Amino acid sequence: MNRENLNRMADYIETVPQDKFDMRLFRTGEKEKHECGSLGCVIGHCTILDENPLPLDYLGDINFYAWSRKFTGLDTSSSEWAYLFSSDWDAADNTPKGATKRIRYFLENGLPEDWREQMEDNAPLSYINQTK
Protein backbone atom coordinates (compact mmCIF):
# COMPACT_ATOMS: atom_id res chain seq x y z
CA MET A 1 0.00 0.00 0.00
CA ASN A 2 1.30 3.44 -0.91
CA ARG A 3 0.35 5.55 2.12
CA GLU A 4 1.82 8.73 0.68
CA ASN A 5 -0.30 8.52 -2.47
CA LEU A 6 -3.43 7.64 -0.50
CA ASN A 7 -2.85 10.74 1.66
CA ARG A 8 -2.40 12.82 -1.49
CA MET A 9 -5.68 11.42 -2.83
CA ALA A 10 -7.52 12.35 0.38
CA ASP A 11 -6.11 15.88 0.24
CA TYR A 12 -7.11 16.28 -3.41
CA ILE A 13 -10.61 14.80 -3.18
CA GLU A 14 -11.34 17.17 -0.31
CA THR A 15 -11.14 20.01 -2.87
CA VAL A 16 -13.54 18.48 -5.42
CA PRO A 17 -17.00 20.11 -5.43
CA GLN A 18 -19.96 17.84 -4.76
CA ASP A 19 -21.46 18.58 -8.19
CA LYS A 20 -18.30 17.14 -9.83
CA PHE A 21 -18.25 13.96 -7.73
CA ASP A 22 -20.00 10.61 -8.16
CA MET A 23 -18.68 7.27 -6.93
CA ARG A 24 -20.58 5.45 -9.71
CA LEU A 25 -18.42 6.83 -12.54
CA PHE A 26 -14.69 6.97 -13.15
CA ARG A 27 -15.37 9.97 -15.43
CA THR A 28 -17.88 11.34 -17.88
CA GLY A 29 -15.48 13.60 -19.79
CA GLU A 30 -12.31 13.04 -21.78
CA LYS A 31 -10.91 9.80 -20.47
CA GLU A 32 -7.36 9.96 -21.79
CA LYS A 33 -6.26 13.13 -19.94
CA HIS A 34 -4.61 13.41 -16.53
CA GLU A 35 -7.14 15.97 -15.32
CA CYS A 36 -10.72 14.78 -14.91
CA GLY A 37 -12.59 18.04 -15.59
CA SER A 38 -15.95 16.27 -15.39
CA LEU A 39 -18.17 14.30 -13.07
CA GLY A 40 -16.11 11.49 -11.55
CA CYS A 41 -15.08 9.41 -8.57
CA VAL A 42 -11.94 9.34 -6.41
CA ILE A 43 -9.96 7.34 -8.98
CA GLY A 44 -11.15 9.41 -11.95
CA HIS A 45 -10.24 12.70 -10.30
CA CYS A 46 -6.94 11.62 -8.76
CA THR A 47 -5.13 10.65 -11.97
CA ILE A 48 -4.05 14.31 -12.03
CA LEU A 49 -1.73 13.49 -9.11
CA ASP A 50 0.40 11.15 -11.23
CA GLU A 51 3.07 12.65 -13.49
CA ASN A 52 3.70 9.30 -15.21
CA PRO A 53 1.96 8.24 -18.43
CA LEU A 54 -1.45 6.78 -17.70
CA PRO A 55 -2.04 3.15 -18.70
CA LEU A 56 -4.46 2.87 -21.62
CA ASP A 57 -6.83 0.08 -22.56
CA TYR A 58 -7.34 -1.24 -26.10
CA LEU A 59 -9.75 1.62 -26.90
CA GLY A 60 -7.25 4.29 -25.87
CA ASP A 61 -9.06 5.21 -22.63
CA ILE A 62 -7.33 5.22 -19.24
CA ASN A 63 -7.27 1.78 -17.65
CA PHE A 64 -8.43 3.09 -14.27
CA TYR A 65 -8.01 -0.27 -12.53
CA ALA A 66 -4.39 -0.61 -13.69
CA TRP A 67 -3.72 2.99 -12.74
CA SER A 68 -5.21 2.62 -9.26
CA ARG A 69 -3.23 -0.60 -8.60
CA LYS A 70 0.00 1.16 -9.53
CA PHE A 71 -0.75 4.43 -7.72
CA THR A 72 -2.28 3.09 -4.49
CA GLY A 73 -0.48 -0.23 -4.24
CA LEU A 74 -3.84 -1.92 -3.56
CA ASP A 75 -5.17 -4.85 -5.56
CA THR A 76 -8.45 -3.84 -7.21
CA SER A 77 -10.05 -7.11 -6.11
CA SER A 78 -9.18 -6.53 -2.44
CA SER A 79 -11.56 -5.57 0.35
CA GLU A 80 -9.36 -2.56 1.07
CA TRP A 81 -9.75 -1.24 -2.47
CA ALA A 82 -13.52 -1.82 -2.37
CA TYR A 83 -13.81 -0.04 0.98
CA LEU A 84 -12.02 3.00 -0.39
CA PHE A 85 -13.17 3.19 -4.01
CA SER A 86 -16.17 0.96 -4.80
CA SER A 87 -19.02 2.42 -6.81
CA ASP A 88 -21.33 0.79 -4.26
CA TRP A 89 -20.67 3.77 -1.94
CA ASP A 90 -23.31 5.68 -3.87
CA ALA A 91 -25.94 4.14 -1.55
CA ALA A 92 -24.41 5.24 1.76
CA ASP A 93 -22.04 8.15 1.10
CA ASN A 94 -21.58 9.57 -2.35
CA THR A 95 -19.64 12.65 -1.26
CA PRO A 96 -16.05 13.85 -1.66
CA LYS A 97 -16.01 14.74 2.04
CA GLY A 98 -16.99 11.17 2.95
CA ALA A 99 -14.43 9.68 0.55
CA THR A 100 -11.74 11.89 2.10
CA LYS A 101 -12.67 10.82 5.63
CA ARG A 102 -12.87 7.17 4.59
CA ILE A 103 -9.32 7.22 3.19
CA ARG A 104 -7.97 8.96 6.30
CA TYR A 105 -9.84 6.57 8.59
CA PHE A 106 -8.42 3.59 6.71
CA LEU A 107 -4.85 4.92 6.93
CA GLU A 108 -5.20 5.41 10.68
CA ASN A 109 -7.33 2.40 11.66
CA GLY A 110 -7.27 -0.12 8.82
CA LEU A 111 -10.27 -1.87 7.32
CA PRO A 112 -13.36 -1.87 9.60
CA GLU A 113 -14.87 -5.32 10.19
CA ASP A 114 -18.29 -4.13 9.04
CA TRP A 115 -17.01 -2.22 5.99
CA ARG A 116 -19.39 -3.97 3.61
CA GLU A 117 -22.42 -3.24 5.81
CA GLN A 118 -21.34 0.41 5.97
CA MET A 119 -21.00 0.59 2.20
CA GLU A 120 -24.47 -0.94 1.78
CA ASP A 121 -25.93 1.61 4.23
CA ASN A 122 -26.69 -1.11 6.80
CA ALA A 123 -24.30 0.08 9.55
CA PRO A 124 -23.14 3.43 10.92
CA LEU A 125 -20.18 4.94 9.06
CA SER A 126 -17.08 4.42 11.19
CA TYR A 127 -15.33 7.45 9.73
CA ILE A 128 -18.15 9.95 10.10
CA ASN A 129 -16.77 11.60 13.23
CA GLN A 130 -13.30 12.15 11.77
CA THR A 131 -12.31 15.76 12.37
CA LYS A 132 -10.22 16.15 9.23
Asked if residue 126 is part of any domain, the answer here is no
pLDDT confidence of residue 17: 97
Which sign does the torsion angle of CA 31, 34, 39, 41 carry?
Answer: positive
**For residue range 70-112, what is the model confidence (pLDDT) as tens digits?**
999 999 999 999 999 999 999 999 999 999 999 999 999 999 9
Structural domain boundaries, residue 19: 3-119
CA dist., res. 61 & res. 97, Å (int): 27
Task: Specify if 40 maps to a domain.
Answer: yes
How many folded domains does the chain comprise? 1
Please check whether residue 124 lies inside any domain of the structure: no
Establish if 127 belongs to a structural domain: no
pLDDT at 45: 96
